[in-house]
Amino acid sequence: MTPPNVEEIDRIARLSDPTLRNLQITQCYYELSQCVAERNGFCANWCTFATWASCQAGQTIRQEDLIRAFEERFFLSPEISAALEQINAELIQLGARLQAGFFAKQILQALTPAAAFARASDAVARGNKKVFEEIGFEFARFLQTFSAGNRFDRDQTAHFCAALRPGDPPDGQRLLREAFTAYSEASVQDGKQKAELMLFANIAAGYHEQIRLQPEIAEALNASVGAATELKRNLLSYVVPLSSVTAALLTRHRPHLDAMFVRLMAEVNRLIRQVITEQLMTLHLPNTEVLRLGHDLSGAFPQSLVGLRPCQLSIPYRLPPRESRSVSWRHHSGENKMRRSFILMGSTNFTAANSSRFSKTKV
């Protein structure tokens, strides 16, 4: 396979349609992954993980099933039901005449959750592009510099890495320097040493990626439907025409009613975050495997990565206690340290796999 060149990376990154751009980014990651595998051996490299992650990001970019998933949770949430009953009772006390079944449907119209999901889609699309035009570009340059069959050349590798910015991310590219040095050396190693070098490189590139993506991930996961006062105003525009109470009376500051809307909005935004998190923090792998942030990884630990040798990669991490790990990840997936721990374990499980494991990554 002919590897994508840097001009192809630039062309794809310039596409204005985020959906089309994501599809081409995912395909390009697949081609880069295959070309790195041809050079270094058929085990997972960073582009392998990027293929799966970009494919998953595409679902959020296209907003697939987000509204449906939110509505299901909205109507089944006991907290939402309780909040609506309290608001209904308060409005009736104020003189509003509400029709049975009218209020819940109008709440959804007033919420406009599609706007929150659109903001999440935009943030994910920007992150997808941001990482591709940086790390994808460097992989294309790496493959152009080190053609298949080249032996490890420390001077050539140092020359390649000199183009990468010194310092730590998000501004520096020190971790990418370490990653590509390890990828270069791994091509001439085999067995345990190759697996360790590939794991080292994957973690270094993955850690750099997560630091660079943190603003967009946090923005996507924190997308909300707005303030409680806005919801109250939107809702009353539906309710007031059916009420004997004037708009001025209902829109006036009322601490008890306003507090009810604040509680309702908190639960609505929690459900929106939950829907986005479950879609964004899930990887669908070949052979129907699914990795979910918030669930322990299954599968046997690769023997070639048992008893790792000391390395110089300075990536601080600490796993939460096993008994609280799922809860912690489920509630703090927007935090880089939680995703980093999950990526570390996932990279260890999949780096040493054989080529058949990744033969169906093409999109």
How far, in Å, CA of 45 to CA of 135, rounded?
13
Q: What is the pLDDT of residue 176?
A: 97
Q: Which two tokens stand for residue 284?
A: 């669908």
pLDDT at 349 over 70: no
**pLDDT at residue 332 greater than cutoff 80:** no
Neighbouring C-beta atoms of residue 325, cutoff 10 Å: 18
Q: Is residue 124 classed exposed, middle or buried when 0-12, 13-18 and 19+ CB atoms within 10 A define those classes?
A: buried
> Which residue type does 340 have?
R
Band (190; pLDDT cuts 50, 70, 90): confident
Query: For residues 331 and 144, which has the higher predicted lDDT (pLDDT)?
Result: 144
Looking at every residue in the chain, the average pLDDT score rounds to: 80
Q: Pick the closest to residue 339 from 328, 352, 349, 355 (CA basis).
A: 328
Q: What SS3 class is residue 233?
A: helix
Which token pair is 53? Answer: 């992650």
Which pLDDT tens digit goes with each residue over 109-128?
Answer: 777 888 899 999 999 999 99
pLDDT at position 331 over 80: no
Alpha-carbon span 237 to 234, nearest angstrom: 5
- pLDDT at 96 > cutoff 70: no
Task: Look at residue 237 and tell me whether its pLDDT is greater than 70.
Answer: no
Judge whether residue 344 has pLDDT over 70. no
pLDDT of 325: 37
Q: Of 39-43, 70-74, 98-102, which gets the smallest average pLDDT?
A: 98-102
Coil, strand, or helix at residue 284? Answer: strand
Tell me: the pLDDT tens digits for 268-323?
A: 999 999 999 888 888 777 766 788 877 777 777 777 777 777 665 555 444 344 44
The answer to whether residue 100 scores a pLDDT higher than 80 is no
pLDDT confidence of 356, banded at 50, 70, 90?
A: very low
Exposed e or buried b for every residue in 88-119, given b needs 16+ CB within 10 A? beebeeeebeeeeeebeebbeebbebeebbeb
- The per-residue pLDDT for range 124-175, each reduced to its tens digit, is 999 999 999 999 999 999 999 987 555 678 899 999 999 999 999 999 999 9
pLDDT interval class at 197 (50, 70, 90): very high
In the predicted model, is pLDDT for residue 104 greater than 80?
no
Q: Which residue has the tokens 């964004």?
A: 280
Q: Counting every residue, how long is the chain?
A: 363
pLDDT, tens only, 3-46: 999 999 999 999 999 999 999 999 999 999 999 999 888 788 99
